[in-house]
Amino acid sequence: MSNKVLFFVNSFSRTGSETLIYECIQALNKQEKFQIGVVVCDKKGELTDSLDKNITIFYLNQQFSIFDKIQFHLGFDVIGNQLAKIQNEFNASVWYFNTISQVHLLAYKQKFNLKAIVHIHELLYNFESIHERNFNLILQHCDQLIACSQLVKDLFIPFFNKPISVINSSINFTEWMEYRRGKNATTGKKLKIISSGTICYRKGTDIFIKVADILRSPSIEFIWLGKSNQTAYSEIIRLTNDKFKSVKFIETQNQEDYISQFRQGDIFVSTSREESMGLVLIEAQALGMPILATNSGGSSLLVTESIGQIVEELNPESIAIGLKEVINNLNKYKNSSKPKYEFQIEIQKMASLLQDLLT
């Protein structure tokens, strides 16, 4: 069996799961134990060009042209033929699916002599986005499931009868600490309340806007870092904010821009309805910001009294009350704790798992 691992990603954009797997792939590649390939399944994201040059990149076209549709109706398997071409060229021993978005491709695993890993970053709410037949492909064809936290493992334990490993989502904490407030960070007269993530219902962008409206003040600025996913929800958010003008939305262009904007925050607020871990909370901790988070799952794994506090009730009024308490007690939060999950330890767990699967 070869040491070749083929990672399937959506686009390598700056979502939490894709940023994480990007860092994992880069770290694994430096170990030189595996030959790594990447299949980009959606339009090319901004992280793609930053991959190490010896990593082979393939592009899977799932946006069918008229010619593709004609071929399909004539009996040609357009996706299967692309996958066969990729597999024949790379000859992977393991297919590694990052997130549930591409698990429909597990249906093709039986055509090749290989093993499959599915890395689950999602909790219940996200599973509404995939069909039950594709979910059943995980149960039938996944040889090893990786859960991004114990919460996800607990979700699968009752019905998944194959190996489940927990590789906790984490960041290069030491590198992020280089950008902590106090190191040439821009400061202003306004207290900056920051949140971050793709503008979506799960992240609770609508809740954040309402909190900002409740606490509207000339001395406080509410900022959301993240891009629109071009849904009706994000359009409703845009139109609502155009009317009330309570939040400043910033779509950062690259990692440097993201960190530059993020580190200017005085307090980080997470209004998520559900999180399997919450990488952005770890980033805020590394930057030295007090954290206020809804009890959305992952926050309970990360937030301690020295870092911030958790709001139990998921409504804007309760979050606003909690935020006022944090504002009034900023000196209480030293935020000097080490991260609960060390990136290098989690990477070594991933490397060991891959080695075991390849032998």
Whether residue 80 contacts residue 108, with contact meaning beta carbons closer than 8 Å, is answered with yes
Q: Give the pLDDT score at 224.
A: 97
Rounded to the nearest 5°, which phi and psi values hold at 320? Answer: -60, -40
What is the Cα–Cα distance from 337 to 164, expressed in whole angstroms?
29
Give residue 271's Cα distance to chain centre.
Answer: 16
Tens-place pLDDT, residues 78-107: 888 899 999 999 999 999 999 999 999 999
DSSP 170-202: ---HHHHHTT-TTSS----SSEEEEEES-BSTT
Selection from 42, 21, 33, 34 nearest residue 97 by Cα = 21
**CA–CA distance from 50 to each of 61, 95, 172, 240, 343 (Å)?**
21, 22, 17, 36, 20
| Cβ neighbours of 6 (radius 10 Å) | 24
Report how far apart, in Å, the C-alpha atoms of 147 and of each of 8, 126, 170, 229, 288 are: 16, 14, 13, 25, 27
Q: What are phi and psi of 182, to 5 degrees?
A: 105, -15
Q: Map out the domains of the chain as residue ranges.
A: 4-170+342-358, 173-332
Residues of the chain with pLDDT under 70: 1, 64-75, 182-188
Q: Which CATH superfamily groups domain 173-332?
A: Glycogen Phosphorylase B; (3.40.50.2000)
The neighbour count for residue 184, using CB atoms within 10 Å, is 7
Reply yes or no on domain 4-170+342-358 having CATH 3.40.50.2000: yes
- Strand order across the beta sheet in which 115-120 lies: 56-59, 35-40, 4-9, 94-98, 115-120, 144-147, 164-166
Distance (Å, whole) CA 293 – CA 163: 32
Quick one: pLDDT at residue 68? Answer: 58
Q: Are 249 and 241 in contact (CB under 8 A)?
A: yes
The tokens describing 260, both together, are 């530059």
CB atoms within 10 A of CB 55: 16
Close Cβ partners of 214 (under 8 Å, ≥ 6 residues apart):
316, 317, 320
The pLDDT value recorded for residue 338 is 81
Question: Residue 129: what pLDDT?
Answer: 87
pLDDT for 254 equals 84
* Cα–Cα distance for residue pair 197/275, rounded to 1 Å: 12
